[in-house]
Amino acid sequence: MEQHLLSAAQIIQAGGVVAYPTESVYGLGCDPFNRNAVEQLLAIKHRPVSKGLILIGESVAQLAPYLRLTERQATQLQQQWPAPVTYLIDASDRLPAWVRGQHRKVAVRVPDHPLARQLCQLVGQPIISTSANISGRPAARTRYQVARQLGDQLDFIVSGACDRGAKPSTIIDLESGRTVRP
């Protein structure tokens, strides 16, 4: 499995788009700092850049340079993650606008799926994470569903299991504590 994930990481580093398992559904990922890769991912999904994308990392420390966090908030996230909980947090100037979309905040998560976290570790930075589907269609929960819906448009599909009964991650605004998506 290590070689399989290493191949996916190298493809992301080279500007490719990959699919990988997360807690509940397969995600699409790429290098968030490579505008062409993000534009390719958005074209695959038929998703406008204005909506913004989720950024995942292996740890709070990996995500922190791209966020405006107080010490209290960083401590809170350390205690919460890894978990299928995504937080909306003010983005730092280091995060490209094409990741945030029309928002000043960015959605971030340290996933509770070992393959997704390990992929971020192997890439050496956070990666994009958005559901593996064309916008408006059901998200893929298996490698087969990803291949059937998007396979010819992707550079790589990581094999692995999702919790097929799980719901997509909860999204919470860190500053207000308001739940945006249950």
pLDDT at 1 over 70: no
* Per-residue confidence (pLDDT) for residue 167, from 0 to 100: 79
Our CA angle for 175, 94, 68, nearest 5°, is: 20
pLDDT, tens digit (0-9, with 9 covering 90-100), for 43-81? 999 999 999 999 999 999 999 999 999 999 999 999 999
Q: Does the predicted TM-score (pTM) go above 0.85?
A: yes
pLDDT, tens digit (0-9, with 9 covering 90-100), for 72-116? 999 999 999 999 999 999 999 999 999 999 999 999 999 999 999
Q: Which uninterrupted H or E stretch holds 106?
A: strand 105-109
What is the set of domains in the chain, with CATH numbers? 2-181 (3.90.870.10)
Beta-carbon-side half-sphere exposure of residue 129 (alpha carbons within 13 Å): 32
The CA-based diameter of the chain, rounded to the nearest angstrom, is: 45
Instruction: Using the structure block, give the residue that is written with the tokens 């490698």.
Output: 143
CA distance 76 to 172: 13
- Cα-flanking dihedrals φ and ψ of residue 140, to 5°? -75, 135
Cβ burial, residue 22 (10 Å; 0-12/13-18/19+): buried
Average pLDDT for 119-138: 96
Average pLDDT for 138-150: 94
Mean pLDDT of the residues in the chain = 94
Cβ burial, residue 165 (10 Å; 0-12/13-18/19+): exposed
* Per-residue confidence (pLDDT) for residue 97, from 0 to 100: 94
pLDDT at 129 over 80: yes
Is the CB of residue 46 less than 8 Å from the CB of residue 40? Answer: no
Instruction: Using the structure block, give the residue that is written with the tokens 């505008």.
Output: 35
Instruction: Pull the structure tokens for residue 46.
Output: 């038929």
